[in-house]
Chain A
Amino acid sequence: MSLKEHKYQLLNRYHQIIIFDLEGKLLDSCNSMIDLKQLPNQNVFDQWPVLESVRPALHQLEDLEVPFRLPAVELSLPELKGIFDFEFSIHPEYPEQIVWLLIDQTRIYRYFRRIQQERNMLLLEKEYRETGRSIKVSSALDT
């Protein structure tokens, strides 16, 4: 395997590009992580509540000089689980189309979550000690 192919495979594993119009109609998807064309609803706003609620921002993409980013979105779809960064920009050739870059950052955010979880657990236990409450805090990390 050439270096280029290896790089392509790596990118493919953690990135997906989806194109939809301003009404949310799915136009194209490289389907590297989730096969969107198999989903019953072909409108991304209906399929993804998070997109529905940023719809006004997506309609203003043309006014932005940089892509609109939504970092660390946790997904728990039957077909796709993990923590992803979303990036939206206007299609370079078709301004009525939106390019959605979906980046799987699960490994990185899991690392951050572990650190954050440890910190939060320590703070919780400290506060319960100080207030004299005998409340046990159990962690659901990796269960």
Chain B
Amino acid sequence: MSAMAFFIDYSRCIGCQSCVQACAECDSHRGASMIHLEVIERRDSVQTAPQVCMHCEDPICARVCPADAIKKTPDGVVQSSLKPRCIGCSNCVVSCPFGVPKYRAEIDQMMKCDMCYDRTSVGKKPMCATVCPSGALTFTTMEEVQRTRRGIAINSWKFGGEEVKTKVYVMVPRSIERVDLELVQIAPTPAPLAEDPYDVALMLEAK
């Protein structure tokens, strides 16, 4: 059997926060949740998206850390900052293209998802991917994903000019090989949606 891997399928997410609640139950960081559940725009849609650390092959967070506090394990898991080294500068926080690391003022340290290293290193699944009711977060083999899912799993990203490869996969339609994200200028007010696919009032207007 091939190695277990982490897969995110944003389209499956139901926003229940089971992952957030369960993450805080992990023994290595009990009481603090490391996963982020993004509510996209509740006024317009019920869409939500869970975000774990993607565990980049060449992690930008570690590259920009002036204290060399962020280490990658031989099996490719990018760890939280090392407490004795972290100087709380937040370079990692602003540089991560996925918005994963968070600076925790109360402990003056950056903490982030370490793919439940205490669990995965002994053959267990990460907590979030075990409890997730919708299968938006899954920890399984590539074969199993190919057998049971319509989409494909990819781990290549392009942010503007920066190419990133991650240990964590995301499910996308079969036509896509890499997730390309153009850099956008952040505006003071968000641009209105081109269409409003989840507006019930529009659905009720006879076509």
Chains A and B belong together in one complex: no
Binding site for A on B (CB under 8 A): none
